[in-house]
Amino acid sequence: MTTAPHTRPRHVVVVGGGPAAHRVTESLTARHGGAPSPLRVTVLAEEVHRPYDRVALSRRLDGRADLTLAPQVWDHPAVHLRTGARVVALDPATRTLTLEVAGAREQLGYDELVLATGSTPFVPPVIHHEAARVYRTVEDVDGLVAEIAAVAATHGRPAKVLVIGGGLLGLEAAGGAARLGAQVAVVDLGGWLMGTQLDEGAGQALGRLIGDTGIELHLGTAPEEVLLEEGRVVGVRLVDGRALPADIVVFSVGIRPRDELARAAGLALGERGGVAVDDRCAASADHVWAIGEVAAIGGRCIGLVAPANAMAEVAADRIWGGEAIFPGVDDATKLKLAGIEVASFGDAFGRADGSLEIVYADPARGLYQKIVVSGDARTLLGGMFVGDASPYTALRPLLGRELGAEPAAYLSASGGEGAPTTDLPDDAVVCSCNNVSAGAIKELICGERDEPCTDLTRLKACSRAGTQCGSCTPLVKKILEAELTRAGVEVSRALCEHVSISRAELFESVRILGLRTAEEVLARFATGLGCDICKPVIASILATQTGEYILDGGSGPLQDTNDRALANMQKDGTYSVVPRIPAGEITPARLKVIAEVAEDFGLYTKITGGQRIDLFGARLEQLPLIWRRLVDAGMESGHAYGKSLRTVKSCVGSTWCRYGVQDSVAMAIFLEERYRGLRSPHKLKLGVSGCARECAEARSKDVGVIATEQGWNLYVGGNGGFQPAHAQLLAADLDDDTLVRFIDRYLMFYVRTADRLQRTARWQEELEGGLDHVRDVVCEDSLGLAAELEESMARHVEAYRDEWAATLEDPVRLGRFRSFVNAPGQPDPEVLMVGERGQQRPATQEERALLIAGARLPVRTSQPPGGMG
C-alpha cells in the first residue's frame, strides 16, 4: 500500500484590511468544510484594527460604535490575520512581498496574492491643505469627534466645521458633525449636491432638505486656501474671493485607488489609476488578483459595496479553480443623510435610447421621485428618489423587468399604491450588496432545513441580506412576514427590542391593567431601560388613557424634546409658540394680546396653513412669561408639538358664505375643542367645509367633514406630507350627533390599533379589509366596541386640561424652563437674530460670524430666496 505524497497548503496572501479583504477571506474559507484546508490564508492589514465596516463610519460619529466585521472569520484555523503590517514592496517574479512590521522588515512568499488595498482620500492642492482633516478611517472619525468637543470646551460655543465636498461621504460627515452640535457648512464645486448619483432636480431637492437642517451650503465654488492664525485653522478662502469661518476643515472630495504597490511592481494600471483586472479579477501578473476600490475593472474603479463583494466572490472562486466571472456593476445607492432619504439605482439618468422619465417633484417640500422606463413604458430601467425613498426597496428588485401597472402608480409621493414587495419572482435580487435573491430568502424561511430561519436576525445572518448597507432590510422583513403568514406561523409585531408586543397590544394591556405611571409600564412590559422608540410610545399611551399632565408620573424623561418643552424647537434652538385658534376664529381682544406678546418679546410672526398664528424665536426661559399672558387672555396651547390633534380647519360656512349649507365654523370649533390634546400614533388634522366647493380642503385631512343639504359627509384617512392621500368617504348625510359619534369611534379605534408614527392613511391601507373594515367597526359596530370607544373619548374630553395652564400653577413644573440651571433667566448667548422685512429671524452662518466678530451686517435688498432678482 502506498501513501499519497504530502502536499503543502497553497498560501494565499490578502493585502488590505477593509471590507473587501474580509469578504474574500470569508469566501475562501467557506468553500472548504474539512480539515486540513488545502489553503492557508494570511491577511495583512495596515491598520491596527480588525477589518471594519467603512460604509457605516457615520455611526461612529454618534458614539464609539463597534464597526468590526464578523470576527469569526479570524477564528478559522487556516486564517492568520496580521494587523499593523504594511506591505512596502511586491515582486511578482519571485512571488514575494516585503513587509514592515513594528519598524522591522521581513519577506513573505505567496502562491496567490489578492490586492485589496482600497483607496485613499483625495486632498486638493490648496494652500495649507495639510491643516485640514479627511474622513476615511476610524481614526479620522474619532479625531473629528474629539476636536469638535475640544473647540466647544475651549471657546464656549459650538465648533464651526466646514466640509469640502458634497458627495456621499462629505454629506455624511456634515450630518454627523451637525448631530454633535457643530455649526456646519458644505462647499462643493458642483451646481447641486451628489452630482454623481443625482440629476439637477434631485440634487436641488436634496440641497433644500439639507439646508433646512441648518447645514449651510456653498455650491458652484471651491476652496483656494485654508486660513490659519498662529497655526490654527480659522476659515477657508474660496476661489470666488469669499472667506468662510471655520475651526475645523474636512476634505471629502473623492478617493484615489491605493495602487502604489502594483505601480512599483510594474503591473498594468487603469487609465485613471487602479490595478487593471479582467472579468476574472486577475491582474496582469500571474497569480495576482485585485478586488474592491483598488481594482480597475472595465476601465474604472468602483467605490461601492456590491461590486467589491462580487469581485471578492469571483477572486475566491478562481483561486479554488472555479470559472466565475464578474457579473457587472450594480451601482444602486440608498442612504440617509442627516435623516433625509436618498436613493438611486439602474439607469437613473435615463441615458438609454428612447427611455422615458416619470417624475414627481415638489421643490417646496424637497421631494423628488423619478422612475425611468423603456420607450413603451413597460420595462423598469432605473429610479431616483430624494426626501421619500420608500419606492426604492420594492422597485430595486424589479430592475429590467416589466412593471405590472402604470409607472406613475409606483411613485408613493403622487398617491400611487406602490409596487408589490413580497410576491417577487424567485430570481429577483433583493440584496444587491450580497447578491441574494428573493428565492434564496424564501428557501431559508420555509425550505427543507433542520432549522428554518423564522426570525429576522437569523434570516439576515443565514442569507447575508441586509447585513451590509441595510437598505433592503425592510423588504427582507416583509418577505419573512409574508412567507410565515402563508405557512400559518404567527408573525412577531414587537414594538422594539425592549418591548416584545405591538403598540396596539401595549395600549390594551396598559388599559386593562390600569397602569398609570411610566415606571409601572416599563417594569411590566420592557426589558432594560427602554429606547427612543418605546419610551415616547409609553408616554403617549399613558397621556391618552390617564389624561394626566404629560411630564408627571415619570413620563417627563420619556418624552421627545418638543413635548418636554411644551413647544416646538426650531433650527436655532429657540421655540415657537402657537395658541389654539379653533376654526381660525379669534376675537380682536385676543388678536391684540398676541400682537403685544410678539412685539414685547421680539417674536417672528406668521400665519400658519392651519388658520393659526405662529410666534417664532422664544427662548426656553421666556415660554412661561409668554404663556402667562396668553393664558390670562383665555388662550391655550395649540399643540403644535407632539403627536396629537393639531388643527380643525374651516371655511366660513353658512354664517357668511352665500354657498354655505351648514355652519362649518361652529362644527369645526366644537370638534377642535372636543379632540384637543388627544395623543395619537401620529399627528391628526381635521377639516370642515360648509359646502361641496371644499374651501377647507377637508379631503386632505385625517378626518374631513363636508356639508350637504341633508347633513354632513364624513371622509377619513387623508393626509399631506411626504405621501399625500385623499380621504375616503366613510358615511354620508349624517346629522350632528351621529357625525360626532362616528368621529369619536374612528379616532379611538385608530389610537388603539395603529403602529407608532403611522398616519391614518397608511393604517387604513394595512388593516385587513381596509376602509370596509373601518366602516363595519365605526358605523355598524361589527366588533361590539362602539360604546367602549365612545366612553374612552368621553373620558378624554372630561379629563382634558390645558398643559400650559397646569404648568403655570406649579413652581416645580416651571423649574423645567431654564436655559441654564446655574444662571436662571439668563439668555443663551448663541441665539443670534437679524432683522428682515420688519421682523427678527435666526442669523445665517455667515451673519453669525460677522456678529460675533463685531462687524456690521451688509444691507439686504428684497429678493427671492434663491437670490435671483
- Per the annotation, where are the binding residues for siroheme? 695
Q: Which grid cell is 602?
A: 421680539
Q: Which of 374, 458, 465 is nearest to 428 (CA)?
A: 465
Instruction: Report CA-CA distances (Å) from 578 to 16, 421, 728.
Output: 57, 41, 30
List helix spans (H) across 602-755.
Answer: 623-632, 653-656, 664-675, 736-753
Q: Residue holding cell 501513501?
A: 3
Cα 467 from Cα 309, distance rounded (Å)? 12
Cα 555 from Cα 543, distance rounded (Å)? 9
Cα 297 from Cα 574, distance rounded (Å)? 52
Strand 39-45 and strand 79-83: pairing? parallel
Q: Which of 618, 617, 612, 623 is nearest to 645 (CA)?
A: 612
Cα 475 from Cα 469, distance rounded (Å)? 13
Q: Residue holding cell 394626566?
A: 548
Q: Which residues are annotated as a binding site for [4Fe-4S] cluster?
A: 651, 657, 691, 695
Cα 173 from Cα 166, distance rounded (Å)? 10
Cα 120 from Cα 303, distance rounded (Å)? 11
Q: Which of 163, 183, 176 is nearest to 223 (CA)?
A: 163
- Say if residues 713 and 705 touch (Cβ distance below 8 Å): yes
Cα 48 from Cα 128, distance rounded (Å)? 29
Cα 163 from Cα 251, distance rounded (Å)? 6
Instruction: Report CA-CA distances (Å) from 808 to 589, 625, 628.
Output: 22, 9, 7
Q: Which residues are annotated as a binding site?
A: 651, 657, 691, 695
Specify the 3-state DSSP secondary structure of 612.
coil
Q: Which of 624, 629, 640, 578 is nearest to 605 (CA)?
A: 578
Phi, psi of 300 (to 5 degrees): -145, 155
Cα 582 from Cα 667, distance rounded (Å)? 10
Q: Which grid cell is 80?
A: 492568520
Cα 168 from Cα 304, distance rounded (Å)? 11
